[in-house]
Amino acid sequence: MRKRLLLVFLVLFSTTLFASVPSFQNFSTPEFSNDSFIIVWDSNRPSAKDAGISSSVENISSIKQYDHLKTVEVVHLTDSADLKLSMEQARNVVGVKGVFLNYTVTALEDASSATLPNDPQFENLWGLNNTQGSFDINAPEAWGVTTGSEDVYIAVIDSGIDYTHEDLASNMWVNTDEIAGNGIDDDSNGWVDDIYGIDTYNQDGDPFDDNRHGTHVAGTIAGVGNNGIGVAGVSWHTKLIACKFLGSSGSGDTAGALACLDYIINLKVNKGLNIVATNNSWGGGGYSDPLYEAIASQAENDILFIAAAGNSSNNNDLYPSYPASYELPNIISVAASQRSGALAYFSNYGASSVDIVAPGVDILSTVPNNGYSYLSGTSMASPHVAGAAALIKASNSNLTAIQIKNLLLSTANSSVFNERSVAHGDLLLWGESNNGAINCQDMIQLNRFSPSLDRASASLGESVRVEAAIVNCAELLNPPSLLGLGESFTLNDTGVDGDLIAGDGIFSVDVDVTWTGGSSFQFEGYPESVFDIVSVEEPVVTTTEYQYIEIDGTPLSLSDDSYATLDVGFSITLPDGTYQEALTVWSNGIVAFDERYYSYSNTSLPLNGQESLGLVAAYWDDLYPSSETVVSYAVVGNSPNRQFIVNYDSINRFGYSSQTGDGYDVSFQVVFNESTPEILVNYKDVLATSAAGFSNGSGATIGLQLGGRAVQYSYNEALIENETALLFSSGGAKPSITTFDIDGIFRPNQLQTILAEASHPSTDVNLDATLNINGVITEIELGQEVDVSLNLGINTLQLVVTDGQRHVTSSREIEILPYSEAEQALMEQERLAGQADVLSDPAAHGLVSSEQLAIEYANGQNSVLNNPTEYGLVSSDQLEIEYANGQNSVLNNPTEYGLVSSDQLEIEYANGQNSVLNNPTEYGLVSSDQLAIEYANGQNSVLDNPRSYGMLAIAEIEHGVISSSDVEDLPEGVHLVGMMVDVENVAEFFGNVNYVWAYRDGEYFGYIGEGGNSEELITNSGYQLLESVSAGEGIWISK
């Protein structure tokens, strides 16, 4: 199996010869384990056997599972395994959410630090008490409040701790549930003899430091203070838990860090240890979903994750350094300062992504074998913050992790670091004006957690979650309203309406994006809290005409897993409407809009990351350039319609080459446009002759990601053919609002007229529109006037026009003013004049007075009462007379109305009965006497001549035995057999009989012939089927 060395090459070109020059930023490619990888399951993991990992992935040596990280497993491979192939096999197992590299991480110690004599002098701890300047964390003043507590624990995830060190031993946590040296896992936590912690690097229970880094970190956090020996930590009495995952060289992997985090959670959950934070002075790996989830699990268990920001002098806002750059509420990212207060030359920074600065240059602390040494790095800054967190917890045991974080950040001294800024400032443990983390009083500060950057983006119809906390020292307050769009938004901490966790002190609101372009928001009373939410186009991908452009391009000297950054020379337009002037071309089929690391192991889109993340995965696979000419670039066309083309020509997949006859190579190109928001990818050749498993994109990711938005065409699917093309765009044409006019009298109770019109580039598209007036939404017809009556004050109107897929909005604010005194007086005057005019001559206005109405009403009544017949009416007296006449007419002559009297009806009924009884045969009837006679005659006829009716005579076989000959003599048909009959030979009987019916006790019973139930039933009954034929019972057989 090859050793994957991830190299980045600096490409140098002359600006006089080429339109664009590849450039190099301070960016390193992460290394990773060659014999292990990490799996994340969709839900709590099944066993490896059930999941199919063991049977689907070749060359597995072992699988590591965790107690609390239920969805994570680490798969270890044998020496002969192919890492890439194994990861692909695992990715295809049902239930696997993702497969990730096991990154190599290192201690973040600056290599230029010098080792000085082991003189234990507190005066040399300038970060705690700077005798040569004012810049320090004011530790001695804080110790006047508390020097720490043995009930507070900090876990050091590092290279281990020398737990025998004279300045550390008494502050080491001791696992009293474990018996040292007996080789037994006494507390059943999966680790044998874990007295002071564990060693995940060597997979044992002894976390002794064989480097020095972890011991140095531990001494800064909680070196025993006031003991007359060596140095003092920030907290004199905090208990230290050691988790070693870095080896003697100072490096380890993600899997080891995961095991440490799982172990720490287990100690807090199952042993009840008051673990305030983990210190994490390490980094260097790429983004890892499993590690993100593990740190999130710490947050769920109220544990801070304090992390070194990194030593590459990078801006973490642009080039994230993990794990410090994960966007999680429990992470505190720490930069390093020097004795003068300036930011250390090596320290990473970031106005949004790095939280705080702490001393990190020439830091004296403990090292193994009772030694002391000076080291520099953000690794040395982070433990200052971890020790401060422990001291704060000791001063107030009721504080939560978030409250401690808020105290640390809200009291940090704002400092200027020559444009290398951080989100808050310098760690200040104690302040003269009660403005330190441990003596804070009446310091109100607003912290915005989301959006984490000052610019967030979303598509129309989506929402952006805004999360913030406002603290007065550690006390959480209700945050002010969020202002924007002329509205006021109220944040909540109830676990609903956009808030994730109720009562966690982080208040939230979802802002629906209903506008186009950008809108600014800020918290009321906090002008410095301004941030923008930008409505962006959602990218789409469609197949399109193949338009391959032959170029004579500039070659890029790319090797395996390498990249080159190109200055395009003009602004290209991306599908979301943004612009880009630099591109990073990766050998593995990615053209990126940033310089973060992208693994050769393709994953599905979207990728997790910050808002700046962007890439075109034209054919993201483990590609392997074999010469200088396989990847090139060129500019074609003239401004403002230039195109920038990146060409991949006959590039092989790793492990295959045309030279070896494997026949795997692909050719494609990516075309960017200066003015058109589209990206075209032409696929010239994607067919592999002998590597069919990777043909047509079956081993590649193809898609586009811009910020948090992504569109994926395929992921490990054979969907691409030769000479085809994909177009990434903003989703095609969209409607535009051409008219949104409001006219009328803008006063209360007056009508205002609204006219809305819109257009669309496609004439055959139907447009629909809604009008939102003060939160009330109404469908309207475009081009038709709509009358409304607006409320007094400011009215917000929003028009939304949609073509069914895309929609645009336009907003108006209309103020309805109250009437002025002059207007009110004039209106009153006009009202009174109108009233007088109507009253003086109501008839002229179609009205009558109430007196006239009463007169006319009475006249109408009298006219009807005096002459009812003229109105088709009769009086009640006349009605009664006519009713009586009608009754008498019917009673006197019933036959005229088709009626008969009741007496006549009885006579006719009796006559009918007598007619039937006297002559029943005329009506098809017989008398009961005649019926009995005929029944007896029928019986006698059958009994006297049974064979005439196809039956055996009863007398012939009465109490006899039916033999086969008896049955053979019978003709075909149905026959009555007899009474008390035994079957002589069942087999022979059923050889001649198809079916048997029995009539017994008034019921029929059927028995199937040979081989069926009848043979068994007859046998079990002793061969007796019937008892009495004379009583109407018997059996029938069918031949």
Please report, in angstroms and rounded to a whole number, the separation of the first and last CA atoms in the chain: 83
Single-letter amino acid, residue 736? S
Which ranges of 451-557 would DSSP assign to H, the alpha helix? none
Residue 1011 region by backbone torsions, left for phi larger than 0, else alpha for psi between -120 and 50, else beta: left
Kindly state the helix (H) or strand (E) to which residue 84 belongs, with its residue range: helix 83-91
Query: Three-state DSSP class for 34?
Result: strand
Record the tokens describing residue 265, joined without a space: 């959670």
Residue 673, H or E segment: strand 666-673
Tell me the pairing of strands 475-477 and 455-458. Answer: unpaired
Residues 504, 150: Cα–Cα separation, whole Å: 27
Decide if 213 is catalytic.
yes
Q: How large is the C-alpha radius of gyration of the chain?
A: 47
Q: What is the DSSP string of 599-655?
A: -SS--PSSPP--TT-EEEEEEES-EE--STTSEEEEEES-TTS-EEEEEEEEEEETT
| Max Cα-Cα span within the chain | 145
CB of 68 closer than 8 Å to CB of 297: yes
Nearest by Cα to 231 from 247, 212, 214, 216: 216
Catalytic residue among 158, 167, 193, 253: 158
Residue tagged 């964390």 (tokens): 137
CA 896/CA 44 separation, integer angstroms: 93
User: What is the rounded CA–CA span in Å between residue 618 and residue 604?
Assistant: 13
Whole-number Å distance between alpha carbons of 287 and 71: 17
Catalytic residue among 136, 165, 194, 213: 213
Encoded amino acid at 19, one letter: A
In single-letter form, the type of residue at position 225 comes to G
On whether the CB atoms of residues 411 and 474 are closer than 8 A, the answer is no
- Other beta carbons within 10 Å of 28: 13
Q: Measuring CA to CA, how many Å separate 497 from each of 425, 486, 534?
A: 33, 21, 21
Which helix (DSSP H) or strand (DSSP E) does residue 278 occupy?
A: strand 275-280
- Three-class SS state of 933: helix
Cα→Cα distances 840→462, 623, 828, 829, Å: 63, 98, 18, 17
Residue-wise over 584-604: b if at least 16 C-beta within 10 A, else e?
bbbbbbbbbbbbbbbbbbbbb
Peptide bond connecting 383 to the previous residue in cis, omega within 30 degrees of 0: no
Q: Which of 20, 333, 365, 379 is catalytic?
A: 379
42 catalytic? Reply is no
The secondary structure element, H or E, covering residue 407 is helix 401-410
Structure tokens at 179: 């018996």
Task: Look at residues 262, 128, 86, 288 and name the one whose alpha carbon lies nearest to residue 191.
Answer: 262
Cα separation, 793 vs 301, in Å, equals 49
Residue 959: active-site member: no
3-state secondary structure 139-188: HHHHHCCCCCCCCCEEEEEECCCCCCCCCCHHHECCCCCCCCCCCCCCCC
Pairing of strands 540-544, 623-624: unpaired
- In angstroms, rounded to a whole number, what is the distance separating the alpha carbons of residues 289 and 599? 13
Helix (H, G, I), strand (E, B) or coil at 36: strand
In 42-137, beta strands by DSSP E: 60-65, 72-77, 96-107
Active-site amino acid positions: 158, 213, 379
